Every structure is written in structure tokens, then in C-alpha cells.
Amino acid sequence: MSWIEWYNSLAKPSWTPAPANIGLIWQILYPIILLSFGFVFVQAFRKKLPWRVATPFAINIVANLLFTPIQFGMRNLSLAAVDILIVWATIILMMVVVWRHYRWVAIAQVPYFVWVTLATVLQLSITAMNW
């Protein structure tokens, strides 16, 4: 069974966005993530920003990139739920630790945080509905 057939076979809340809409949202968010995360890493490499500030950004991007293989490759809803909680929590941490250094980076994370909050509630709902 393909990943889309598997995903379509899952019980989901009625408010679940269509896969095409989810993809569109990520197409909007990834450039924001690339620019703001890239800036943080460049500043950390230049020693203009402590690495402790860049660390949650690194954890976040790794967890974000692992979500798709966990969810659709391994088809492990529980592990995907844990992963997305890590993504969500690290966004909050990122915004807090970078605020005093570069407020624009923290503010740039707001759309990402809003989307991941919705995606986290969705993932937890799907996980619970298919337990």
C-alpha cells in the first residue's frame, strides 16, 4: 500500500487539511525556516551568537526532517507524535532563547509555531483515533 493510501485509510478528525494544502503550507514555511535558521547558524559560526542559542534550532530541524520518514516511511503514529511534540517544544525554546539577540528571528517563527501547533493537535488526534 502506498503512503497516501495508508494515510487515507487512517481515521482522522473532520477538520484534517487535505494533503495538497499541507504541502502548500510547508512550501510557504520552508523559505522562512531556511532564512531564519540559516541566519542563526551563520551568526553562531561567526561567534556572534552563542551555540546554546543555535542548539534548539538544530534539534528542531533534525526533528522536523525526521517526521516524514517516521510517519510515512515507518508508519509509526506514536513515534511521529513524540517527534512532532519535540518540533513544537523546540520552536517555543528557539523563540525564547533568540529573542534578546535577534527579535526578528523569533517573530519569524510565529507562522511556523501556529502551523506546528495545528499539526501537533492533528497528529495527536490521528494517533489517538488509530490506537
Whether 3 is in a domain gets the answer no
Whether 55 is in a domain gets the answer yes
Cell of 113: 509555531
Q: What is the pLDDT along the chain (131 residues), one digit of tens a residue?
A: 899 999 999 999 999 999 899 999 999 999 999 999 999 999 999 999 999 999 999 999 999 999 999 999 999 999 999 999 999 999 999 999 999 999 999 999 999 999 999 999 999 999 999 99
Query: In the chain, how many domains are there?
Result: 1
Whether 92 is in a domain gets the answer yes
Give the model's pLDDT for residue 19. Answer: 86
95: nearest Cα among 85, 86, 81, 105: 105
Whether 6 is in a domain gets the answer no
11, containing H or E segment? none
Q: What is the number of residues in the chain?
A: 131
Give the model's pLDDT for residue 49. Answer: 98
Burial of residue 91 (CB within 10 Å: 0-12, 13-18, 19+) is buried
Q: Please give the model's pTM, rounded to 2 decimal places.
A: 0.95
